[in-house]
Structure 1
């Protein structure tokens, strides 16, 4: 991938005004994207300036009146076309994501196809999104009707860039909003290609694409012409967005960091539990919002569980050579690896033991091994903060009640998993854990359409499912009485 890709994918898509601005500010700063597997250059993209941010918002505003009046069925039809375009380009999107973020190609392809499916889902759900009639007087009509917010900004992450962007952008435009999408600066080429595919289908200005770093995102989040900011990413950035939105009056829709616990109860098969823990902690090198970040295991099966978990960690390798080995890609960049290793080193200084991994490998790229830590105790950074890497810290507890209490004592509130043979414990856990999603006897999975609300430092609002359409609209109450005519 060379810099010619950036030349074919301008920073602001679909606006002649922005083209003029870009020509007048030639030679500005660019983003260099490197492959985290080997450090090779993927490409460069230009960083949008403040003038281009203004131009993007102006373009989205100009397209809004016509788009919000477009028949909902027509909006759905166009989104179905966009879904087909994304599906056809899934392998191209996956290849770009693989090179920009290091995500294994098969996982990246699954994410791209999930994104196409999400667009198709909202293409069907959007035209069915409805208001509500109210029971008023006989001589009046009363109703509640959803209306689009206006200009929606979608700030999306690098760990699942296609699927998440398709959800936010799809729900926004199908409900009559126009959208500005800024993909993560760690995978701008993936985001630019996705936006190009969708922009080719939608009318000009309905989706506007911007590239840049955190400063560009901050300018968008605090722009007075933006009515809603949807962000998936770090808690620190989410807080900043919420503060900006409070000043401009925009709505903030946030899914931020998580520190998801896994409870392993007495009575479950320890080897099965270790398989579940490994999938939760090591998939995508632990770089999933709902990755397993901390493990509480009952003392009676701790030894067998830890031994099996260590064996699972050893199976995760950089370049699989045997059928039993599982590919694990690098972390997204060296900076992320440094943060992950700092958590491991802090745990070791505080008394934890490294059973597997825990060392920065030699050579290029941002690889980090699947790591299992034992003898972990409350207060360690690796248990208190989101590590976002392939690290499985194990805390041994005396009983389920202790594990549940410690798992619940956390400032985040994204998700949690419970492995238990006890229906009583399962019921207690899903009711007591202060998180948006509880999974019993499976670290991943669930029926389509689930839409949880993160809590605490993990954010606010629905980020998925049919309820995301509610987040992208606001309700207006209408009372229509009969007019009086003639003289009294």
Structure 2
């Protein structure tokens, strides 16, 4: 069995990739398990030096990786290169943080020493997505190996070449077995998630897959680290400039053709702002038409269009886009929908495409209440000139990240935990080192 990868810009074949067999998966896990004891005992500074060398190797191949990403996923070259650069920075960050990751000493008896010591968990299965294949893998793999774990990595079947090449560059800087790579689809990921010798499954992807992984891990006591789907709301409050708020909404909904984990998925605008905001958002959609790449493949384009068609059947109006672009490739135009209701798929589920569905609400409190009433809990954005509203919003929205007056951005080192159907655990930042280790309490006392 093999995977066929098509260039979403042209439909041309990029590669045929064999799917790893059950034996190949099991052997990769066994090699990682065999390499674990020695790697766990390797001094932290030496592990960090290896990760730093991996960052240098990836930097030298940055253009190659960006070109591969563009071919496999259709991501514009500059955006793809930005993802590679982000991955390089993440590897360097964990190379710095790894050796200073520490436990605690405790205040016990005078003749005793009490410690809390972080230890690597063992073998980590890293299952990564296609929409940012280098940056996401760099974080999970970098944090895992710098803390003394070994890894079996399965890149997304939608960009196996990019994922494998990145992992090979990293693996070349590590001892044999510390980073194993297997190719395949969801069946391979499921086998890794169920493997008895896998201690942690770190997954970034859909909520359905995340739930299956959580069940598999719960059955055998493994740790599941999950960042899954999102249905991020954007609230446009009274008193903000319509043009600026439309620019923010367009950036959140249309960047990378909407294929970003924290993309804007549903928009609530207070009634007093609706006319000017919607008019400006339609203008923004037209400006974005030539700035976005294709969707990753035809299957995903059908998914996105099914959400739009469902909204239209339910009474939504299409003010921009709304139909697949004719010609080669899997392009879908920036789309603006109005008259949306909470029961429509564009509001109740993750579309993950360049679609900006708008719901007009009477006031800010209604927007906040409806935005909070959702099964996902990844992120949300609030555009407001009212500081009281901003304070209320960040406390009331049950999501891992709340952004006030900016759809993207934030200080380095921040780390959030997704909630509900969006997953669990810290998937990035310094706290990811805590996720990759288990704390052991040690009591050393003198003999009588």
Please report how far the alpha carbon of residue 110 of structure 1 lies from its aligned counterpart in structure 2 after TM superposition.
0.2
Residue equivalent to 1:395: 359
Determine which of 212, 228, 236 is the counterpart of 1:256: 228
Please report how far the alpha carbon of residue 199 of structure 1 lies from its aligned counterpart in structure 2 after TM superposition.
1.1
Residue equivalent to 2:56: 84
Determine which of 397, 414, 429 is the counterpart of 2:393: 429
Residue equivalent to 1:188: 160
Deviations for 1:160-219, whole angstroms, at most 9, x for unmatched residues?
000000000000000000001100000000011101111111111110011001100000
Determine which of 200, 209, 213 is the counterpart of 1:237: 209
Structural mapping, 1:30-179, within 5 Å:
30-179=2-151
Determine which of 205, 222, 238 is the counterpart of 2:194: 222
Please report how far the alpha carbon of residue 80 of structure 1 lies from its aligned counterpart in structure 2 after TM superposition.
0.4
Residue equivalent to 2:259: 287
Residue equivalent to 2:437: 473
Q: Within the alignment, does 1:442 sit opposite 2:414 as a pair? A: no
Q: What SS does structure 1 have at the residue aligned with 2:238?
A: coil
* Whole-Å separation in 2 of the counterparts to 1:483 and 1:93: 59
Determine which of 383, 386, 406 is the counterpart of 2:347: 383
Determine which of 367, 375, 391 is the counterpart of 1:411: 375
Please report how far the alpha carbon of residue 361 of structure 1 lies from its aligned counterpart in structure 2 after TM superposition.
2.0
Q: Within the alignment, does 1:205 sit opposite 2:177 as a pair? A: yes
Please report how far the alpha carbon of residue 88 of structure 1 lies from its aligned counterpart in structure 2 after TM superposition.
1.3
* Whole-Å separation in 2 of the counterparts to 1:249 and 1:185: 27
Please report how far the alpha carbon of residue 364 of structure 1 lies from its aligned counterpart in structure 2 after TM superposition.
2.2
* Whole-Å separation in 1 of the counterparts to 2:235 and 2:273: 12
In 2, are the aligned partners of 1:223 and 1:248 still within 8 Å (CA)? no
In 2, are the aligned partners of 1:32 and 1:45 still within 8 Å (CA)? yes
Q: What SS does structure 1 have at the residue aligned with 2:408?
A: coil
Q: What SS does structure 2 have at the residue aligned with 1:457?
A: helix
Q: What SS does structure 1 have at the residue aligned with 2:337?
A: strand
In 2, are the aligned partners of 1:294 and 1:383 still within 8 Å (CA)? yes
Residue equivalent to 1:4: none
Please report how far the alpha carbon of residue 34 of structure 1 lies from its aligned counterpart in structure 2 after TM superposition.
0.5
Please report how far the alpha carbon of residue 416 of structure 1 lies from its aligned counterpart in structure 2 after TM superposition.
0.2
* Whole-Å separation in 1 of the counterparts to 2:139 and 2:239: 39
Q: What SS does structure 2 have at the residue aligned with 1:166?
A: helix
* Structure 1 stretches lacking a partner, 5+ long: 1-28, 321-326
Q: What SS does structure 2 have at the residue aligned with 1:193?
A: helix
Residue equivalent to 1:14: none
Please report how far the alpha carbon of residue 234 of structure 1 lies from its aligned counterpart in structure 2 after TM superposition.
0.1
Q: Bigger radius of gyration, 1 or 2?
A: 1
Q: CA RMSD in A?
A: 0.7
Please report how far the alpha carbon of residue 245 of structure 1 lies from its aligned counterpart in structure 2 after TM superposition.
0.5
TM-score (norm 2): 0.99
Residue equivalent to 2:321: 357
Please report how far the alpha carbon of residue 307 of structure 1 lies from its aligned counterpart in structure 2 after TM superposition.
0.6
Please report how far the alpha carbon of residue 298 of structure 1 lies from its aligned counterpart in structure 2 after TM superposition.
1.2
Please report how far the alpha carbon of residue 155 of structure 1 lies from its aligned counterpart in structure 2 after TM superposition.
0.1
Please report how far the alpha carbon of residue 45 of structure 1 lies from its aligned counterpart in structure 2 after TM superposition.
1.5
In 2, are the aligned partners of 1:126 and 1:174 still within 8 Å (CA)? yes
Structural mapping, 1:294-313, within 5 Å:
294-313=266-285
In 2, are the aligned partners of 1:412 and 1:455 still within 8 Å (CA)? yes
